[in-house]
Amino acid sequence: MIVLLRGLKKLKMQLWKGVFSSIVELLCKVKKYSFKLTSNFVHKAIINLKWHKFAVENDKYMSKVTVVGAGNVGSTVANVLAHKDFLNEIILLDIKEGTAEGKSLDTWQQAPIDYYSTKVVGVTNDYTRTAGSDVVVITSGLPRKPGMSRDDLISVNAGIVKSVTEQVIKYSPQAIIIVVSNPLDVMTYCAFLTAKIDSKRVFGMAGILDTARYRAFLAEALNCSPKDIQAVLMGGHGDTMVPLPRYTTVAGIPVTEMIDEEKLNVIVQRTKSGGGEIVNLLGTSAWYAPGAAAAQMVEAIVKNEQRIFPCCVMLNGEYGLKDIYLGVPVKLGKNGIEQIIELKLNSEEMTLLQNSAVAVKEVMSVLDKMNVGS
């Protein structure tokens, strides 16, 4: 019986190979291609077909992602994810009537033009539609207004993030939560306290955005492609972030061999105020880069890519820090934070990281006084 089954399987593959060869050869004749079809080409094509079959059978393309908040950042996250075309469904939720529905419809009408199949569905404050989400991205929150203190902003946005997280966990208890709301470090902490789940499933998007700005500024200064620049930033999301030139390379070449120290320091300072620069130009916060950064995290999780990114995560002894959400390099996969990577920082870098931690801890203490997790 086993021999018969193996024979049938082999025959099936040979038939597929023959059919595929005939189709491609016909296309070659129709298009008057001059190249000769090789068995290697057919073999690769069959491997691709088998991978697609495996992906479908294992629900590779059946993941569901929810984005809460259909403002500029949230709608960008949904749009970028739709274009990546690896999800079955994206739910875009907002509290304002018609906003999520309208932006989702616009994104769906873009699908035939940009050639993707992922459906984006907009809903108004109906969390039942988010049920069973694998990943939830929280972008909800208000910007800081004139006359509003830092503590006021924390109080308002903590109330929003707490409410959103409660609904997310109610309908998607197994979801991985990515926080984008500001102030980022403390809002991620707020979501963690509210969700009451493993901290490896609750983390924030900041490092990817900050690193992207750093890489973009370097590429501009060096007149090279940003694709060739790799870098790591750590610490809080803001003025106390810690760029690490020692871990920055251009196509594998240490950045210090490509640019002088003075110019590099200017770029580091520009990176720290990168968000403010855009606010001064636009009168509002950035959304393209933040949205793309969050979408990249979602992709790494859903596809279990084991990508290494700087993310805002709960530290429990790493880098000598405990009970604090701070940006460090991690490995992202299907379980969320698969690994926290501890770099061998020198004394100067460690001092900068500790100073950043002090600033973040001070903001987190404001939230602790609000008893969010009780």
Give the residue numbers annotated as catalytic, written as ranges: 237
Taking 3-state DSSP, the helix, strand and coil percentages for the chain, each rounded to the nearest 5, stand at 55, 20, 30
Nearest alpha-carbon partner for 185 in 364, 336, 340, 310: 364
CA distances from 103 to 35, 74, 77, 171 (A): 46, 10, 12, 23
Nearest alpha-carbon partner for 151 in 191, 179, 183, 180: 183
Q: Which amino acid is at 48?
A: N
Distance CA 69, CA 130 (A): 13
Distance CA 153, CA 183 (A): 8
CB-based contact 186:367 (threshold 8 Å): yes
Distance CA 198, CA 314 (A): 10
Residues sharing a CB contact under 8 Å with residue 83, sequence separation 6 or more, in sequence order: 114, 116
Q: Which amino acid is at 168?
A: V
In this structure, is the dihedral angle defined by the CA atoms of residues 59, 92, 131 and 309, taken in order, positive or negative?
positive
DSSP letter, residue 171 = H
Structure token pair of residue 317: 């002894």
Q: Which amino acid is at 95?
A: I
